[in-house]
Amino acid sequence: MTKKHSKLILIFIMIVIGIWSCTLHSAKSEKTATSDIPLNTGVNNVYFLTDMEKEIVMELNVVRTDPKRYADFLKSLSGRPQWNQGLDETILFVEKKEPLPPFRISKGLSLAARNLLNDRGPEGLTGHVGKDGKSIFERMNTYGQWDGKAGEYLGYGYTEAEALVARMAIDEGSAVKDGQHYIFDRDFHVVGVACGPHKSYRVMCVIDFAGTYKE
């Protein structure tokens, strides 16, 4: 195979992946209506968050504060092949959950999440540990101190907050259901978010959760 043919095949594959990615990650629905849930913050303002990062927090709070309403949104995804796996099971699970208080935004957790994003994104890398070898918990303590519980969710390729959070809620293919656990665990109260460019997946989002966080 010539270099020219290899290059053409690579371009074709990238186009197909791009189309698939856009289709898979599109899940907008008016039923989520995030605007009527206030952005509950633990800091004076959220200038350090992009619009998508704010939307992720608001979408997480939709699920937390009104799970039955969010189950209705998940039902609207039925029939779309990219969402079918695990969807019915998730709808039944979410419908039975009791409402929880909304997450508060932590500036320190958001900055810690951005550290990982800046470490992984430019080189197209994945995983929770950066080049400095710091664990999730060590990195979270860079700008403050977490207490109680802590965890981290990574999303790759998502350009819409609704789609990322829906994938967290469905969490198919994961035996431990980390996404669901972080959303519905009543011991998690604060969240930090960072989204940005990723060399391999276009977009990477880091979502850090903690019981409490001293900025």
Cβ(210)–Cβ(189) under 8 Å? yes
CA 193 to CA 195: how far, in whole Å? Answer: 7
Q: Quote the pLDDT of residue 150.
A: 96
Return the DSSP state at 127.
S
Note the pTM of the prediction, 2 decimals: 0.81
215 CB-near residues (< 8 Å, 6+ apart): 42, 43, 106, 107, 108, 143, 144
pLDDT recorded at residue 176 = 59
- pLDDT at residue number 135: 93
Give the pairing of strands 104-105 and 190-198: parallel
What are the distances in angstroms from CA 71 to CA 17, 91, 100, 158, 166?
29, 5, 15, 21, 10
For residue 9, count CB atoms less than 10 angstroms from its CB and return exposed for 0-12, middle for 13-18, buried for 19 or more.
exposed
Q: In 3D, which of 68, 82, 53 has the Cα closest to residue 155? A: 53
Question: Half-sphere exposure of residue 15, counting CA atoms within 13 Å on the CB side?
Answer: 6
Q: Which pLDDT does position 63 carry in this prediction?
A: 94
Looking at the domain that runs over 3-214, which CATH code has it been given? 3.40.33.10
- 98: three-class secondary structure by DSSP: coil
CA distance 143 to 77: 39
Closest CA to 205 of 167, 171, 159, 174: 159
In what helix (H) or strand (E) does residue 195 lie, and over which residues does it extend? strand 190-198
pLDDT for res 4: 43
Question: In sequence order, what DSSP letters do the residues of 102-121 get, joined into one string?
Answer: PPEE-HHHHHHHHHHHHHHG
Q: What is the mean pLDDT of each run of 10 residues along the chain (215 residues)?
A: 42 33 42 52 77 94 93 91 86 94 94 96 91 93 96 95 93 70 95 97 97 96
Q: Residue 57: phi, psi to the nearest 5?
A: -65, -45
**How high is the pLDDT of residue 160?**
94
Q: List the structure tokens of 7.
A: 């290059």
